[in-house]
A and B are shown apart, each in its own frame.
Chain A
Amino acid sequence: AQSVSQHNHHVILSEAASLELGCNYSYGGTVNLFWYVQYPGQHLQLLLKYFSGDPLVKGIKGFEAEFIKSKFSFNLRKPSVQWSDTAEYFCAVNALRSGNTGKLIFGQGTTLQVKP
Chain B
Amino acid sequence: NAGVTQTPKFRVLKTGQSMTLLCAQDMNHEYMYWYRQDPGMGLRLIHYSVGEGTTAKGEVPDGYNVSRLKKQNFLLGLESAAPSQTSVYFCASSWVRSGGLTEAFFGQGTRLTVV
The answer to whether B90 and A101 touch across the interface, beta carbons within 8 angstroms, is: no
Mark B residues whose CB is within 8 Å of A.
31, 33, 35, 40-45, 48, 50, 56, 58, 90, 92, 94-96, 99-101, 103-104, 106-109
* Shortest Cβ gap from B2 to chain A (Å): 13
Q: How many pairs of A and B residues are in contact by the CB < 8 Å rule?
A: 67
Main secondary structure of the interface of B (DSSP, over half): strand
The reply on A43 being an interface residue by CB < 8 A is: yes
The chain B residue with its CB closest to the CB of A44 is B106
A51 at the A/B interface (Cβ < 8 Å)?
yes
Q: Which of B40, B48, B94, B107 contacts A43 (CB 8 A)?
A: B107
Knowing A42-B108, A101-B96, say if A90 contacts B31 (CB, 8 Å).
no
Besides A9-B40, A90-B42, A103-B48, 19 other CB < 8 A contacts?
Answer: A32-B101, A34-B103, A43-B90, A43-B107, A45-B106, A94-B101, A100-B96, A101-B48, A101-B50, A102-B94, A102-B95, A102-B96, A103-B45, A104-B104, A105-B45, A106-B43, A108-B41, A108-B42, A109-B42
